[in-house]
Chain A
Amino acid sequence: MDYTNDPDCKVPIQLIINMPELMENPFKERIVESFSEAGDGNLSFNDFVDMFSVLSEMAPRELKAIYAFKIYDFNTDNFICKSDLEQTLNKLTREELTPEEVNLVCEKVIEEADLDGDGKLAFADFENMISRAPDFLSTFHIRI
């Protein structure tokens, strides 16, 4: 890779998710995908800077919320629906919860945060919820 001569080159996703800052993160693929412009997870330099700018300590809550929403929206339909929640939960717990428990938790999440009653979380719902979360800012950042 020769950045000087070819600044449009991209770093493949495999390299990026294996960097120590992301390696243990259960959402690493989603993070990288959300920040890649093409959506395939291969990052250009700008995407990469983007990623760590959003995940830095200095980034504001609103911006972080936007990208958190993108990250947790696994099927990229601009809604966090139940299948997204299930995937999130399974990644968070390494699939140690029973299907009933997963179901219960997902239903609870939707019940708590879904204000418009469409059974899935739009960004407005998500932001409303995350803006009151006490730990969001302290956990949603990476130091490099």
Chain B
Amino acid sequence: MAAEVEAATAVCEAGEVGTATSVPEAGEVGTATAALEAADMVTARTEPEVGEVGTAMALSEAGKVGKARKVGIEIEQVERDSDGARNNRNNNRSQPQTRNGRRTAVEDDSEEEEEDEAPKPRRGNRKKLAKAQDSDEESEDEQPNRKTNKKGENQKHKEEPNNKEKQTDKKGKGKDKDKDDSKDKKKKKKKDSSSSSSSSSSSSDDDDSMSEGEMAKLMEEVEEKKKLVSNMRNKPWRMKRRLAALKEAQSFVEKFEGALGKGKGRRLFAYKKWIKFQRDFDNFKTSCIPWERKIKEVESHFGSSVASYFIFLRWMYGMNLVLFGITFGLVVIPEVLMGLPYGSIPRKTVPRAEQAKAMDFSTLWDFDGYCKYSVLFYGYYNDQRTIGLLKFRLPLAYLMVGIGTFGYSLMVVIRTMASNANESGGDGEDSDFLFCWKMFTSWDYLIGNSETADNKFASITTSFKEGIVDEEENQKDENIHLRRFLRVLANFLIVCSLGGSGYLIYFVVKRSQDFATRDNLGWYEKNEVEIVMSLLGLVCPPLFESIAELEEYHPRIALKWQLGRIFALFLGNLYTFLFALFDEVNQKLAVEESIKNATTWATHMHYANFTGNTSATPPPIDPADPSYGEFDISGNVLGLVFNQGMIWMGAFYAPGLVGINVLRLLTSMYYQSWAVMSSNVPHERIFKASRSSNFYMGLLLLILFLSLLPVVYTIMTLPPSFDCGPFSGKSKMFDIIMETIELDFPAFIGNIFSYVANPGLIIPAVLLMVLAIYYLNAVSKAYENSNLELKKKMQMQRDEEKNRRNNQDSTNSIMKDLEDLLPIMSGGGNSTAPENKASTNKNDLPKTPKGADKQGGASRNGGRVNPEKEVSLAAQNPRIAVTRPPGPRPPGPLPGNPQLTVPGQRGRGPPQRVGRGQPRH
């Protein structure tokens, strides 16, 4: 860059000097020409490369510099010995040219002309001129004659400035090296730029012919070129063409703008770095999601429905991890660190009677013995208000953690449901291009690992199968009455079996109470309840499944039904069992009216929960069927949900349960993902899981509520046992809160609490909430409706578009033929064009070609410059050309089409056109 500027300055200075001090040099004209010729010979090698780069822009920049230096140069020039200078001139002859850029040998003359002219207008508006010159260069095609004329005129002045140029260049000797280097470089480039250099001959036009319009056009063109350079990557060209175009545009712009976009390059670099950082960060984030790859692998082979189970499992694991953190961080670990040690008080010691076998494995396995008297259970904690040096209020913490567990679970479940609903509310799912996108965008070109590729192939196949199943389901329409009848029948059968199983359990539990009063019982009588319950759990789900085949639902919907039914079965059985049990407990409570019983009830309760939990564990861990069955999604999901329900129910009475559950989920994740890959076959009809796993979440929410009820009931109403647990000695568990408020908070907070607890305040609050829910619900309904409406509209629009195109192609074949004939029509991108075209086609067929030709010519020449400047300017805006009435039409309308004379009605083209076009052929 520096070299170029230097060269330009030299040129400028030369020009300046040439006009100012022409007298001393005048005598040397002859020698100068000789020198010039000699130089031509000497530098013959370099001349072809001398280009157009350094011209106008450099000139304009250099103008300022030139002025500053003018005086010094003049002095120097006068002093210089012209003879001695000649040799130097010979040497330097090539320098300005090389610095000026590439130029062919033929253009040598024109370069001199340019240098000749440059000084003259410099005194005026230099910058303007520079641009003008350049524009002329661009428009040389249209003005060949003028150019040659001027050449002739300028011929006689040619030598003078050249001489001066040479002289001034002497000063730039220090830069000779640079120049030589650049010379070489340019030589190399030359080959590529041969096309560009051909278009860039002289800029020899004088400024007199410049008009305002041209000026503006030039500016525009420069902008255009710049845009071209920045959008080069967007052009669907071969690299060769791209290189050529880029070079041309760059050199063009460089004349005006200097080095193009250095800052831009830096910005681009920063942008790339930023992109790379984002990519790395994304990768990092993805790699932080646990089991993502495992799940992807399962998904690719078994479809999204099976994967949805694992995603659910992972979600559950995350939630339990948080619960575990809360419970252990706030209850178990403080107790272990700061509480009374084992054996200090009776509740923390294994009773002497059990001590003998308290360490046996079978005892420990049942969480009896030492396990039972450990931090894992409620009974181990004692009722000290504060423990340790930190005065940790353990009983309060215990209660808060118990409530917090439920609070957190509820919050997380509901939030997940909400976000799932949001997701499924968005686009996707019911898209117009489901199969297209599967076909054209599902392969990830980034895949370079063969294992990943295998997975990807499998998953693409799977997703196509999912799509096919959905599609087939959409196309199916058979005897709807038969279908309805079958579905009703199936539901009837299932309700019957549900009722039957419920009654069976009730009956068995009642009978077991009879058995309890008797002795001499057989093995069957003792275990009757368990046997019946597990038999029901074993027999009913497959029964439901076979009944569900009557219904012929889509597998996704069938899965939901199946889930719901089994859920109902389990829940029904459980609650029948519980009610039957409550009867029993109530009887016993009636018999012995003592607190002690409540204690046993509580411990029995959590113990029952726990056994329930452990007994619920086996089914999900047993998917590995020897017959390579399908993965039982519904069974596994339900197992998970019930298990979680047990954990929630038991967590308050056994804080250790959460930790055990975390371990269980972890092992089940690894075990099941391995088992499913190694010993299951994909479903016969692979189906897509609904995007939101809200059905699972719904089940979970239900279970959460159901397990919440008994716990809250015991917390709020039953008095805690007097001899164990953190609340022993209180009449109610929540007394601990009251106590804390009274003792540890200032009095006014207690007052506030009493106000807040006032029913007069609570009832309005609840009312307000209900109203808010009602309002929000109504709002969401409205949004949903408008959403549906919009979707419908979009669909309609699409259909309309399709129809229109179809009509155009099939029914308007005449129009089509005409379109092919008329060049403008194919280029007309704007919507009014076809209408105009069509109407004119019909009205005055013989005349259209003329008009169209004119317009077509205009639009075709949009990029270049036309013989008439007016036309070229008009062509800048193709819209003008197109919206104008196309071509010279007769002033009066043809008899058949009066509406065409009214310009405002032109917009109504298509329907009329179609209507009229049809009868013609």
A-to-B contact residues, CB < 8 Å: 20-21, 23-27, 37, 46-47, 49-50, 53, 55, 57-60, 62-63, 66-68, 72, 85, 88-89, 92-94, 96-97, 101, 104-105, 108-109, 112-113, 115-118, 126, 129-130, 132-136, 138-143
Contacts and interface: CB of A to CB of B under 8 A. Distances in A.
B445 A55 contact: yes
A114 to B, nearest CB: 8
B275 A140 contact: no
Contacts of A139: 441-446
Given A112-B434, A133-B437, A26 B443 contact: yes
A141 B446 CA distance: 6
A24 B448 contact: yes
B593 interface: no
Interface of B: 233-236, 238-240, 243, 272, 275, 279, 428, 432-450, 452-453, 457, 460-461, 464-465, 467-468, 471, 801-802, 805-806, 808-810
B441 A133 contact: yes
A32 to B, nearest CB: 13
Contacts of B433: 112-113, 129, 132-133
Contact of B441 (A23, A49, A135): A135
B443 A27 contact: yes
Contacts of A53: 233, 239
Nearest to B806: A117
Contacts of B428: 134
Contacts of A59: 233
A21 B750 CA distance: 70
A116 to B, nearest CB: 4
Nearest to B236: A66
A50 B239 contact: yes
B810 A109 contact: no
A49 B805 contact: no
A66 B464 CA distance: 25
A118 B813 CA distance: 14
Instruction: List 7 tightest A-B contacts by C-beta distance, closest first.
Output: A46-B239, A24-B453, A93-B461, A108-B435, A117-B806, A116-B805, A135-B441
Given A115-B802, A117-B802, A109 B436 contact: yes
B286 to A, nearest CB: 13
B432 A112 contact: yes
29 contacts: A25-B445, A26-B457, A37-B238, A46-B239, A47-B239, A53-B233, A55-B445, A57-B279, A63-B235, A85-B439, A92-B442, A92-B457, A93-B464, A97-B464, A101-B465, A108-B434, A108-B471, A109-B435, A112-B436, A113-B433, A115-B805, A116-B806, A116-B808, A116-B809, A133-B433, A133-B440, A133-B441, A136-B441, A139-B441
A24 B447 contact: yes
B65 to A, nearest CB: 38
Contacts of B806: 116-117
Given A92-B439, A94-B457, A135-B442, 11 more contacts: A24-B449, A25-B443, A47-B239, A88-B440, A93-B457, A101-B464, A104-B471, A116-B808, A129-B436, A133-B433, A142-B445
Contacts of B439: 85, 88-89, 92, 105, 109
Instruction: Tell me the interface secondary structure of chain B in the complex.
Output: helix
A140 B238 contact: no
A47 B242 CA distance: 11
B461 A105 contact: no
B471 A63 contact: no
B878 to A, nearest CB: 19
Nearest to B801: A115
A63 B440 contact: no
B440 A68 contact: yes
A47 B240 CA distance: 9
A105 B446 contact: no
A101 B444 contact: no
A140 B441 contact: yes
Nearest to A138: B444
Given A23-B448, A24-B450, A130-B440, A101 B233 contact: no
Nearest to B450: A24
A117 B238 CA distance: 32
B236 A63 contact: yes
Contacts of A46: 238-240, 243
Contacts of B467: 105, 108
A62 B808 CA distance: 26
A53 B236 CA distance: 11
A3 B235 CA distance: 27
B476 to A, nearest CB: 13
B445 A117 contact: no
B238 A96 contact: no
Contacts of A129: 433, 436-437, 440
Nearest to B431: A132
A57 B275 contact: yes
Contacts of B801: 115
A50 B434 CA distance: 31
A125 B235 CA distance: 20
Contacts of A126: 440
Given A24-B453, A58-B272, A93-B464, A105 B445 contact: no
Nearest to A53: B233
A109 B239 CA distance: 33
B442 A104 contact: no
Contact of B460 (A27, A60, A92): A92
